[in-house]
Chains A and B, each alone.
Chain A
Amino acid sequence: MKPIILQGHERSITKIVYNREGDLLFSSAKDKTINVWFSLNGERLGTFDGHNGAVWGIDVDWQTTKLVSGGADNTIRLWDCLTGVELGCLSTQSAVRTSKFSYSGTSIAYSTDAALKQNCEIFLGDVRGDNLRNPYMTLPVRDSKVTALLWGEVDELLIAGFENGEISQWDLRMAKEVNNICEHNNSINDMQTSKDGTLFVTASKDNTAKLFDIDTLECLKCYKTERPVNSAALSPVYEHVVLGGGQEARDVTTTSTRAGKFDARFFHLIFEEEFGRVKGHFGPINSLAFHPDGKSFSSGGEDGFVRVHTFDQSYLDYRFDVGS
């Protein structure tokens, strides 16, 4: 089916995220703006204006009341989803790379980049009462930089993926790092949970995506490609995982889109077999998201476009042959 192309950004898309119901799609880009769209027809509902630099991470709470965003302008901001009004803004010492709502939507976690004399840090903030107060907890980060962040199932765990490929897990009740693994050997660009929150998939620059148990951090599956993976998302209804990425923009020496491999690639979650590709972007895919009903998915690319793809019936009917 013909995808809907959302042309609301002037620079590379950094993150796209659906709200829980999936009727809205939020997108952030390096052009300082955050857009919100109707996922069904691609109509733009509005913008969240205020950032003075690239917006790196956005997230929406489960009730679609608040939006959190962090950016290269060294701020973390909280927005009212309905009106687009900025509810709060906090300055940080360096660029905010990731920001995430907890399961309950009462807390946010965000991480800042390492900069001159400034170490990478993870902050936890309370967002009850519709404003942004100073963080109540700071987790120091050792040598590497946080590049992806996740909340565990019930507001108790925090999981961070690092630039060096490591993954760390904190128990927030004790504010203590409880687990650390190194399954990837290059930057972890994205981490997304399964619908029930028990599994998560990583996307790494080492050309693979891997599936982990969120509690034990046990690596369950590995999906291999030939290009850095920037984002990976798990289907909420099928045992499918979609991977997006491609040659890094600065490494693209050729003009052929086929050479960069900018396709969204579908793998079977358990068999690790690739079964389909969706072409379209003419630059690497930076962010991928499944619609919560699993009947469509969206991708945001380095080319500045967001593409909303509704699956054909043949995809929904497709079953892997596992005998009878």
Chain B
Amino acid sequence: MFRIILTKIAAGLLTTLGVSIVIFLGTNALPGDAAQIRLGQAATEDSLRALREELGLNLPLYQQYFRWLFNFLQGEFGTSLASGNVTIAQLISDRYENTLIVSTLTAMIGVPISVGLGIMAAMFPGTIYDRFLTLGSVTLVAAPEFFTATLMVLFVVFFLGIGNAVVVGSIEDKNLAELITHFILPIATLCLVIAAQLIRMTRAAVLNVMNSPYIEMAILKGIPRRRVVMRHALLNAIGPIVNVIAINLAYVVTGVIVIEVYFGYAGLATLIVQGVQTRDYILIQTLGMIFCATYVILMMIADLASILSNPRLRHPK
């Protein structure tokens, strides 16, 4: 069993390494290097050469890559190209809180509710409740995030009269009520976005188990439906469900980009969009790596979870 886990982890690390190469090469294709951008109009041949030497840009590409990777792993991300002499670490530490709070709270609130709803839908397939949920999630799963966000704004701000359509100010010195109005819209929207996926996939996972012969046996024995689901089906569905959860958490990492821009609050996602607009490729490299690594790790957890929870995969023949 350890061998399987180790190979999975090794595969995840290798993928991350591959992703880092893609990101490094992609951002290196940008016209102009860091020395040119930083010196701008004032660049002379000599000053350019000096700065390139200092930044290590005269080294061969593969050496630059390893240097960059090594620095990245040590948390030395370099200095931003667009915003003067601010270090990337500084920019990130100013912003990361918002992104972290929103995605963590989304996971903590959205996941249990949607998994519960999905199991309920699988428990009573074909009922009005199930159809309502299925139709709702079919609609939301295909709709863009900003559509869901607009619906949430219409409902929460215009109908309920809570909060503001645009999130303003920092979270410091705000009391609980103010914090709730600060975060309610982005979190509620993201919850809705992942709920659509989660409900559908959880329902499918449980229904898949419900179709197996031993469940048929249990039903024929006359066990009440709720007990069949809770005791017989659910235990075997845990693996797929955990898998589904991890996949959707990985989805939050990307979904948060649109949501942050929509509600205009300062987080890591708005930072990377800003980086693309100002062509600050050091910023893009760093944040791209952070987002992609999180994504890969979550996908790896999804993989591991489905192996660990399934005895047949845990002890392959």
Same assembly: no
